[in-house]
Amino acid sequence: MRHTRIALVLAAASLTLGGCAALGLGKDETGDSAATVGGGKQWIVVDQGRATPSPSESFGKPTATPTVSLSAPTPDPSCTRIWPRTEPVMIPVEVTPGAGSLTVEWPTQYNSNYRVTAVLQGVVSGRQPEPVWQAVPAGTGCSVRTTITGLTSGAAYIVWLDAPNTGRERDGTRHLYSGRSGVVYPQ
């Protein structure tokens, strides 16, 4: 009886430690638990009678990461005027004061339409008035020119130029304006 118990304990231990191999299951002809099939690939028997390929590393195809590209347009070689640039992302503007008006000129950029406004620089208590924008079509020459009228003579203004179809930050947001003047005074 005692020998039977020891034999049963040893049999249970060998099944626990050896798994199916202890019963002679899951071995190929060479005695290994993994079989080599076809072109030399290793296979693991997961379900009796059905071979499953051994895990291996797989690599995806490399793809290009989208990046933001910023570039200035190629200047027209027939345009000889040199526009001073004070900031690299701004369109330079030149303002000529007139009687209650400001004539604004800037180089044609990106075949864009434009809008301009003259913002009064006086102190205003409370909410600031919204600027009144004047639409300007895209220019075909080397520069675009428009005149803003109805301004107060002798008052301080800053002219803002917006090119709605240009002027994006690296994160995709638009500039509030694409060009601006210094302080100017209509006559």
The pLDDT assigned to 107 comes to 87
Tokens of 93: 């503007």
**162-178 burial string, b = 16+ CB within 10 Å, else e?**
bbeebbeeeeeeebebb
Is the model's pLDDT at 47 over the cut of 90? no
Tokens of 156: 């301080």
Confidence of residue 176 (pLDDT cuts 50, 70, 90): low
- Average pLDDT over the chain, rounded to an integer: 74
The pLDDT assigned to 124 comes to 80
Do residues 186 and 157 lie in contact, with contact meaning Cβ atoms separated by under 8 Å?
yes
The pLDDT assigned to 109 comes to 72
Give dist(CA 89, CA 115) in Å, integer.
17
**CATH 2.60.40.10 in the chain, residues?**
94-184
CATH 2.40.50.100 assigned to domain 94-184? The reply is: no
Amino acid at 32: D
11-40: pLDDT as tens digits: 666 555 555 554 555 544 444 455 555 556
Tokens of 76: 């027209």
The pLDDT assigned to 87 comes to 61
pTM, entire model: 0.54
